[in-house]
Amino acid sequence: MGKFFEKNLTIVLLAIISYFLYSISNSLKESARYDSDLRACAKMKAFMNDKESSKLFEQEAASVTGVKVKFVGEYCKKLTLQNFF
């Protein structure tokens, strides 16, 4: 009976550890995507005054974020406002 309990306890502890590792990895993926989007938006905003570079970085930001080119400006505004609070 004691060995049976030990084996099941090990499985339960492994399941709990696996769950926490899975949730941590999902959180890291989300934060990496957020940081990537924020970097792309920052590059786009840095070159706003130059027309040629502006369009290039706007397209790059759209491809990185997965948002259409005509909506990427609004997405970046929303993202930066979210970052302040």
Residue-wise pLDDT for 1-55, tens only, equals: 677 767 788 888 899 999 999 999 999 999 999 899 989 988 888 888 888 888 8
Task: Note the pLDDT of residue 22.
Answer: 95
Helix axes 51-65, 2-46, angle to 10 degrees: 160
Confidence (pTM): 0.69
Q: Where are the domains of the chain?
A: 2-84
SS3 label, residue 19: helix
What's the pLDDT tens digit per position in 52-76?
Answer: 888 888 889 999 988 898 899 899 8
Task: Note the pLDDT of residue 11.
Answer: 87
Task: Note the pLDDT of residue 83.
Answer: 64
